[in-house]
Amino acid sequence: MNTQIESAFALAKQRYGELGVDVSEAIVAMQQIPVSMHCWQGDDVVGFEQGAGALSGGIQATGNYPGKAVNAAQLRQDLEVAMHLIPGAKRLNLHAIYLETEQAIARDKIQPEHFQGWVKWAQQQQIGLDFNPTCFSHPNSGDGFTLAHQDDHIRQFWIDHCKACRHISAYFGQALGRASVMNIWVPDGMKDLPVDRLAPRRRLMESLDEVISEKLDERYHMDAVESKLFGVGLESYTAGSNEFYLGYAASRDIMLCLDAGHFHPTEVISDKISSASLYVRQLLLHVSRPVRWDSDHVVLLDEETQAIAHEIVRNQLLDRVHIGLDFFDASINRVAAWVIGTRNMKKALLKALLEPTEQLRQMEQSQDYTSRLALMEEGKSLPWQAVWDYACALEDVPVGSHWLANVKQYEQQVLALRG
């Protein structure tokens, strides 16, 4: 290892040691926290369904950066490049439209065999997989409704799709020896003011009850549900609101998914984690970056990402909160987008693990809020970056911005040659 990195680390270790923080423990903890990278950043949420339609459901990937993956082999290749540039444990989060088939298969008929390629790859990479039904970009979701649809046939189609997805998710869990988290997000909503806000929610509740009616082994599969405030073209009403899903997850004892972009602009999910943890056993996060709306920008190492990490670490929720990412930026190199966003999540976790939380807690308990604020602020400029560099070097992951050279080379040699 480079001696500069080692000596900076030695100084940082001493500095943190004076505060009672064990940097080696923090590194190991960061390495062990899996961050689930979302496959859909790699191709602008298009997927590999035969005859795939345009992206719909009120979400948008904007930009036209060249070199996006157009088949599973390319997407896996891109993911491998990105994953090698990020330290610590990773998982991959797949959507149902990323199946591999020769012929078109209806979404309510998809099977585990259509995801064998992904499982084989995940075994090679020694990573876990997570899953999502795809209840958008389909003729049966064209009018904005899926599981809450008033037409029983359409509703049943989506129920059957979600049921099929649960079996695929359980197959992931069994094949890889770690539970797959399957997150249900549906766009269901209205552009303009509904008269009846209740009936779609009742239908959504009943559909979900049917979806999860088969008991599956939690060692292999876990159900999650994701709320949302609004979608593009669905601005006035979303059936799956926060209240709807908090109540649903708590009453059905399933996971609640909090997406950082799915709330009012001044609301933050970091302040929801502790509350939700009192009522639901497990949480899933979609760490994202809303810019004025649910724009799904690449995750920054900003205050909210840091606050999310602090909430998980300070409240000892590491085994109850599954960290997933959700952004899709088509205006920059897509591999770089994964690397930037995922490294930022990992950095935020490491910084949180390096905090002298016990000291801060004691200050708070003794109502010494002056010292609490002083230490919190000084903590921001402690040499966490030397610990981060060392953690990267330990795993032979590029230190600092050196990873960018790998991505640029890959862009020249591989991405630029794609049609």
Ligand X SMILES: C[C@H](O)[C@H](O)[C@@H](O)C(=O)CO
Q: Which residues lie near ligand X (CB under 6 A)?
A: 40, 45, 59, 132, 185, 226, 228, 259, 286, 294, 326
Distances (CA, A) of 418 to 44, 69, 75: 15, 8, 12
Q: Which one, 54 or 278, has the nearer CB to ligand X?
A: 54
Q: Which two tokens stand for residue 389?
A: 């560099």
Q: Is 22 annotated as a binding residue?
A: no
Q: Find the shortest distance in angstroms from Cβ 15 to ligand X.
A: 39
| Residue pair 326/286 in contact by the 8 Å Cβ criterion | yes
The helix (run of H) or strand (run of E) holding residue 256 is: strand 255-259
Which one, 33 or 224, has the nearer CB to Mn ion? 224
Contact 379, 39 (CB under 8 A): no
Q: Phi/psi at 286 (nearest 5 deg)? A: -110, 95
Q: Cβ closer to Mn ion: 29 or 225? A: 225
- CA distance readout (Å), 81 to 41, 125, 250, 409: 14, 12, 39, 11
DSSP state of 274: H
Min dist. Cβ of residue 387 to Mn ion (A):
30
- Nearest CA to 418 out of 50, 77, 60 is that of 77
- Least distance (Å) from Mn ion to the CB of residue 289? 12
> Number of C-alpha atoms within 13 angstroms, CB side, residue 128?
25
The binder of 59, among ligand X, Mn ion, none, by C-beta within 5 to 8 A per type, is: ligand X
Are 335 and 415 in contact by the 8 Å Cβ rule? The answer is: yes
Catalytic residues: 185, 226, 228, 259, 262, 286, 294, 296, 326
294 is in an annotated binding site: yes
Contact partner, 45, from Mn ion, ligand X, none, Cβ < 5-8 Å per class: ligand X
Of residues 46 and 363, the one with the C-beta less far from ligand X = 46
338, two tokens: 């994964």
Q: What is the closest distance, in whole angstroms, from the C-beta atom of residue 312 to ligand X in the complex? A: 19
Give the integer Cα–Cα distance in Å for 167 and 214.
10
Q: Which is nearer to Mn ion, 118 or 136 (CB)?
A: 136
**Rounded distance between C-alpha atoms, residue 411 and residue 110, angstroms:** 33
Cβ-based neighbour number of residue 368 at 10 Å: 13
Query: Which of ligand X, Mn ion, none does residue 40 bind (CB under 5 to 8 Å by kind)?
Result: ligand X
296 is in an annotated binding site: yes
Q: What is the DSSP string of 101-132?
A: -SS---GGG--GGGGHHHHHHHHHHT-EEEEE
Q: Considering the complex, what minimum distance in angstroms separates the CB of residue 326 from ligand X?
A: 5
CB closer to ligand X out of 311 and 326: 326
228 binds, among ligand X, Mn ion, none (CB under 5 to 8 A by kind): ligand X
Q: How far is the CB of 383 from Mn ion (least distance, A)?
A: 34
Q: Which one of Mn ion, ligand X, none is in contact with 49 (Cβ closer than 5 to 8 A by kind)?
A: none
x/- map, 266-305, Mn ion, by CB under 5 A? --------------------x-------------------
Report the partner that residue 44 touches, choosing among ligand X, Mn ion, none (CB closer than 5 to 8 A by kind).
Answer: none
When asked if residue 326 is in the footprint of Mn ion (CB under 5 A), the reply is yes
Residue whose C-beta lies closest to ligand X: 185
- Cα distance between residue 419 and residue 417, in whole Å: 6
Contact of 255 with 221, CB cutoff 8 Å: no
Q: Which residues are annotated as a binding site for Mn(2+)?
A: 262, 294, 296
The binding site for Mn ion (CB under 5 A) comprises 259, 286, 326
- Output the known binding site: 262, 294, 296
